[in-house]
Structure 1
Amino acid sequence: MIPAPTGATRLCVIVGDPIAQVRSPAGVTAAFAARGHDGILVPAQVSAADLGDFLSVATRLKNLDGIVVTIPHKFACYRACASATERAHFLGTVNLMRRRADGAWHGDMVDGLGFVGAARARGIDPRGMRALLVGAGGAGSAIALALVEAGVSDLAIHDSAIGRRDGLIGRLNGLGKAPVRIGSEDPAGFDFVANATPAGMKHGDPLPVDVARLAPSAYCGCVITKPEISPFIAAARKAGCVTGTGTDMYQQHQGIMVDFLLGRDGRE
């Protein structure tokens, strides 16, 4: 049983816009309790226009220890961090922030670890696979890096924001680990297809790829948590593909998130 909050309870906030889709408050709060930490994670819906004001207030809240960041704030919150992990610096984005001893923020980005972890939990090893990623935003950037580090043979990235897409491709190619190139909505010939866009959160959204061209042998993963079975995942399952949902992704990195927020990740 999770203890009732008191005046001594430490606070973490998950910030985004929208926010109703997030799954982490209950799970992270329960994980805090399981580790003997008197803390909670609560959601806060904050628009992009109001993020600066929110962060200014958050920095002044003496019982606020951490911030979990979701769409669309991951790039802006990176800029608010005084320090960050190597992967967060490489990507220029964070989905986690924790209070440093001096009161400033330290950031990390673990979306990619959760996404690849969800695939591995389904028995899918990306090593040697040809991968297509749709979306080069905060989560997409992290997934791209995780796929390259997991050893994919080839990565194609599709995003309508051309500058963001090309910048990510250039940085990843600079690692010299796998060829990264411009992709499209056509998933034909790919073994691993990842949707890192919000397409499917709203009724009537277009599918991120041409699902009629999916190979039944392809793995399909999605970052969306609400609906839990996104239209893309539903279509991929109908095509016979092994799939991973946004909830699967979250479950894979919940422990990593909690370690970071509690300062037990051994990194600074």
Structure 2
Amino acid sequence: MSLTISGATRLYVLLGDPLDKARSPEHYNAVFAARGIDAVLVPMEVAPTAFEALITALKHVRNLDGLIITMPHKQAVLAHLDRLGDAAQRVGAANVARREADGSWFGDMYDGPGFVGGLRARGIAAEARRVYMVGCGGVARAMALALAELGVAQLRLHDLDARRAASLAETVRAQYPGVACDAGAADPAQFDLAINATPLGMRPGDPLPFDVTGLAPSTAVADVTTKPEITPLLAAARERGCPIATGRDMFEAQTLLAERLFGWSA
């Protein structure tokens, strides 16, 4: 079935900057067409300086039922939400928002649960394991807290901005005192799971975010990049026999959560 738009079509909007690598429009519009849902997801690339004006205007659109929010707007959107789910409260950011029947807005954060779901889809267990993550930005913050909630034994965080890594480690320890979490560079071969939560791998010629030459086949490697799906890091890890989890795995796990939130589940 093809996607059709009528006067009764419900509207969902993807907000971010940039959006050229976003998978959400192609995925969700295909879901709408396949399931006969009279809805459309429209990407709107908006700079941070214009975000406030746009979202304020969008909330006046009566057939707008929800938002999907990506970087760099996941924190700014909080000021426009009336209620937050548990993950959004812990992380201090949201990447989905639903208009309720009374006109109020509910938001939540699925980056962390989506990452954990992607690992599980690949048969990779993180519970009670030693984890090394490179990158401590917004997505990584959600992932780190989700991994801590899951019950990893150790979480080592590394970022080019050492203060950002130290700050995230402090946040993890404050919320999950039972998890050994610290910051600093490390040899990924000393861990059970090594994660790239940086943009490295999106562009041709990017260096690897960490060295894989010492990894044993038992070490799992995960990457948040969706395009390309198999980044140079994942290709190198796979050549060494390591289990891998892709950004697409994370994205697909998030879509299941979003479909449940918006009532699109099959």
The 8 Å contact of residues 69 and 96 in structure 1, kept in 2 or not, is answered as: yes
How far apart are the structure 1 equivalents of 2:194 and 2:74? 23
**Residue 263 of structure 1, CA deviation:** 9.2
Residue 195 of structure 1: aligned partner:
196
> Structure 2 counterpart of 1:60, which letter?
H
The 8 Å contact of residues 195 and 223 in structure 1, kept in 2 or not, is answered as: yes
The 8 Å contact of residues 130 and 153 in structure 1, kept in 2 or not, is answered as: yes
The 8 Å contact of residues 185 and 210 in structure 1, kept in 2 or not, is answered as: no
> Structure 2 counterpart of 1:243, which letter?
I
The 8 Å contact of residues 129 and 192 in structure 2, kept in 1 or not, is answered as: yes
**Residue 2 of structure 1, CA deviation:** 4.1
How far apart are the structure 2 equivalents of 1:191 and 1:16? 33
Residue 136 of structure 2: aligned partner:
136
**Residue 78 of structure 1, CA deviation:** 2.8
Q: Deviations over 1:210-244 (max 9, x none)?
A: 22333332111111111121222122212221111
Higher relative CO (CA 8 A, sep ≥ 6), structure 1 or 2?
1
Residue 171 of structure 1: aligned partner:
171
Residue 232 of structure 2: aligned partner:
231
How far apart are the structure 2 equivalents of 1:185 and 1:63? 50
| Structure 1 SS opposite 2:81 | coil
Residue 14 of structure 1: aligned partner:
14
The 8 Å contact of residues 157 and 169 in structure 1, kept in 2 or not, is answered as: yes
How far apart are the structure 2 equivalents of 1:255 and 1:199? 26
Residue 69 of structure 2: aligned partner:
69
Q: Deviations over 1:124-146 (max 9, x none)?
A: 11112100112222221111112
State the identity %: 43
**Residue 34 of structure 1, CA deviation:** 5.6
Residue 150 of structure 1: aligned partner:
150
Residue 183 of structure 1: aligned partner:
184
Q: Deviations over 1:141-190 (max 9, x none)?
A: 11111211222110011123344333322221122231111032631201
How far apart are the structure 2 equivalents of 1:203 and 1:245? 17
RMSD: 2.1
Task: Return 5+ residue gaps in structure 1 as ranges.
Answer: none
**Residue 259 of structure 1, CA deviation:** 1.5
How far apart are the structure 1 equivalents of 2:97 and 2:168? 22
Q: What are the equivalent positions in structure 2 for 1:182-261 lying under 5 Å apart?
A: 182-184=183-185, 186-261=187-262
> Structure 2 counterpart of 1:164, which letter?
R
**Residue 20 of structure 1, CA deviation:** 1.7
Cα distance change on mapping 1:12 and 1:233 into 2, 3 Å: same
Cα distance change on mapping 1:56 and 1:261 into 2, 3 Å: same
How far apart are the structure 2 equivalents of 1:30 and 1:40? 9
The 8 Å contact of residues 15 and 44 in structure 2, kept in 1 or not, is answered as: yes
The 8 Å contact of residues 3 and 30 in structure 2, kept in 1 or not, is answered as: no
Structure-1-length-normalised TM-score: 0.89
Residue 122 of structure 2: aligned partner:
122
How far apart are the structure 2 equivalents of 1:207 and 1:49? 33
| Structure 2 SS opposite 1:74 | coil
How far apart are the structure 2 equivalents of 1:248 and 1:88? 21
How far apart are the structure 2 equivalents of 1:263 and 1:107? 17
Q: Which moved more, 1:230-239 or 1:86-95?
A: 230-239
Structure-2-length-normalised TM-score: 0.90
Q: Which moved more, 1:253-262 or 1:124-133?
A: 253-262
Residue 29 of structure 2: aligned partner:
29
> Structure 1 counterpart of 2:192, which letter?
D
Q: Deviations over 1:11-54 (max 9, x none)?
A: 11112222121212232234345665421212222222222222
Q: Which moved more, 1:141-150 or 1:25-34?
A: 25-34
| Structure 2 SS opposite 1:113 | helix
How far apart are the structure 1 equivalents of 2:80 and 2:158? 28
| Structure 2 SS opposite 1:123 | coil
